Amino acid sequence: MELNKNVLYAALIAAFCAMAAPDLNAQTKYWVRFKDKNGSPYSVSNPSAFLSNKALTRRANQGIQVDMTDIPVNQSYINQVNATGGVVFQRSKWFNAAIVIIANGSQLAAVNSLTCVLGSSPVNRYHASTSPDQLQATPQASTKKTASNNNAYSYGPSLTQVSQIKADCMHNKGFRGQNMTIAVIDDGFDNVNNNPVFDSLRNEGRILGTRDIVAGNTSVYEDDSHGAMVLSCMAGNSPGNLIGTAPKASYYLLRSEDVFSEKIIEENNWVIAAELADSLGVDIITTSLGYTTFDISSQNHTYADLNGRTSVASIGATMAARKGIFLLNAAGNDGNNPWHYIGVPADADSILTVGSVNGSGIHSSFSSVGPTADGRIKPDVSTMGEGTYVCQPNGMFTAGNGTSFACPVMAGAVACLWQANPGKTNMQVLNAIRTSSSKNGNMDNDYGWGIPDLCLADAILKSLPSAVAELSKQALVLFPNPAKQEISFELEESPEEITLTDILGKTAGFSYTSNGDTYRLSFKPEMANGVYFMTIRTKNGSFQTKFVKE
């Protein structure tokens, strides 16, 4: 079941409130939460002041409303925090919070005494729980296919990972990621500015920007190598050696992870990176990171937490999907470990979690499995993460093992598929990918829906109506309005989700019945009089309207 966006916003706050507070002297960074966004110079009626045109276009194309979670953190609140001597390092509009560097207890007390501050939590220590990806000395035999003369590219040893999901079929149709934008959130992109495999990416100006959330600057090319190898699975272009699945897409390179750090701040950093990607208007976010275990055992993510509504990163991932972004996350490499489940944010709702298979389509034993704690199948799909051909920062090609490589192989393919079907929503694309996959109808928690077929997914999407174009033709009329105990509306499509919220964002309870295309909502007795907003989500888009209860 998809998560109600108002429940999601409440969970955003609760997730940080739940953090325990270790010794102040051991901490320098705090998550400071603000009470509201009152007095902001920004308004949802003028979103171009804080969202790019591309971000607004993505929302408009999918019938997504701009709401208060899009409003930036109030600058006057930031100024008040800085005036205490604390230093605001990063800020999160979705959580209405900031990462603040605090030197001592008196400074923290001053911050907490501000009338705009709801509370603060220290950033605690963690250690990564997922097993690392492994590089092989030589490619597996299954990766040594050669491309046929009929293919658009000379794929060399990378042909297997591309053709297994029929991404070469999309390339042959001319869809290679042109005009699609992918944000890669990772731990660094060592030597991407020099590596020959990215020559065309650099020469054509398709690295649109970089940001180091960890260090607070834009320099990402001297950090860890993991993100560089991940990027090569999508953007690599070395004929006869390696062709990525989206060799013509554009990219933002965002560093959220510090491999030398032991702080849980990476989850917060990830959310901030996702918010940045949203505001820049990216189409796709791909991330090969995951978290489960912390140094303070009471803070460990338990299996019960894997419900998409508990961990900070998972809530943020779901929020990104609600903004119309197609988000992919690696399942993790814990399949052979006592903790063999996926991590977070791989448990998030409405994203594509990617597991690993080898070149023959057999499940990789290291690939983490589901289900989620609330019973959803994970991973969603599986692609080649065992023997995946990648490029190292030194320009050498090798085969690697890890869902970290399976995920970007899929992400680039998604870019080509969505490029071919620009009128469809992220959820339509996700559902088409699942439906096209090899185990559709016989899903399990090793493979998910199975290995996708991008050309079949393309055909499925072309059979669907355009998301917003069709819905916008319909006028949603609520009656009676004002309403007393119930309200009705007519809709040709079956709603997948209906939510009611008051002007403060509090969710109101109701039950509903349907008779053909007419839906009648009966209010709960405790529902107060006032103005309410109704959001209706269908598989092809969404509506939002308002009414008065009296």
pLDDT truncated to tens, each residue of the chain (550 aa)? 333 444 444 444 444 444 333 333 444 789 999 999 999 999 988 899 999 999 999 988 888 889 999 999 999 999 999 999 999 999 999 999 999 999 999 999 999 999 999 999 887 433 444 445 666 644 443 444 444 457 889 999 999 999 999 999 999 999 999 999 999 999 999 999 999 999 999 999 999 999 999 888 999 999 889 999 999 999 999 999 999 999 999 999 999 987 655 456 778 899 999 999 999 999 999 999 887 776 656 667 888 988 998 888 999 999 999 999 999 999 999 999 998 999 999 999 899 999 999 999 999 999 999 999 999 999 999 999 999 999 999 999 999 999 999 999 999 999 999 999 998 999 999 999 999 999 998 999 999 999 999 999 999 999 876 654 444 444 567 888 888 899 988 887 788 888 888 766 678 899 989 888 889 999 999 898 887 888 888 877 777 777 888 8
Place of tokens 């996702």: 274
46-74 pLDDT, tens per residue?
899 999 999 999 988 888 889 999 999 99
Indicate if 417 and 300 belong to the same structural domain: yes
- For tokens 């989206």, what's the residue? 246
| Same-domain check for residues 337 and 479 | no
74 lies in some domain: no
Say if residue 372 is in the same domain as residue 427.
yes
CATH classification at residue 370: 3.40.50.200
Residues 517 and 406 in one domain: no
Same domain, 407 and 499: no
Please check whether residues 358 and 477 belong to one and the same domain.
no
Burial 386-408 (b: 16+ CB within 10 A, else e): bbbbbbbbeeebbbbbbbbbbbb
Both 512 and 394 in one domain: the answer is no
Residue closest to 208 by CA, chosen among 227, 236, 230, 180: 180
Verify that 487 and 443 share a domain, yes or no: no
pLDDT score of 63: 82
DSSP 70: G
pLDDT of residue 299: 66
Give the residue from 460, 533, 473 showing the smallest Cα distance to 503: 533
Same domain assignment for residues 144 and 252: yes
- Can you give the residue range of the structural domain that contains 482? 472-549
Task: Say how far apart CA 422 and CA 143 lie, in whole Å.
Answer: 32
| Chain centroid offset of residue 153 CA | 30
The reply to whether 215 falls in a domain is: yes
Domain limit, last residue, from 412, 439, 462 = 462
How many domains does the chain fold into?
2
Angle at CA of residue 519, ends 518 and 524, nearest 5°:
155
The answer to whether residue 300 sits within a structural domain is yes
What beta strand segments (E) does 35-151 contain? 87-92, 97-101, 117-122, 134-136
Q: Say if residue 396 is in the same domain as residue 495.
A: no
pLDDT the model gives residue 149:
53
Specify whether the CB–CB gap between 266 and 289 falls below 8 A: yes
Cite the active site residues.
Answer: 186, 226, 404
Side-chain half-sphere CA neighbours of 42 within 13 A: 19
HSE of 494 in the Cβ direction (CA atoms, 13 Å)?
5
Considering the domain boundaries, does residue 516 fall inside one?
yes
**Last residue within a domain, chosen from 462, 497, 515:** 462
Residues 301 and 373 in one domain: yes
pLDDT score of 493: 79
Residues 403 and 518 grouped into a single domain: no
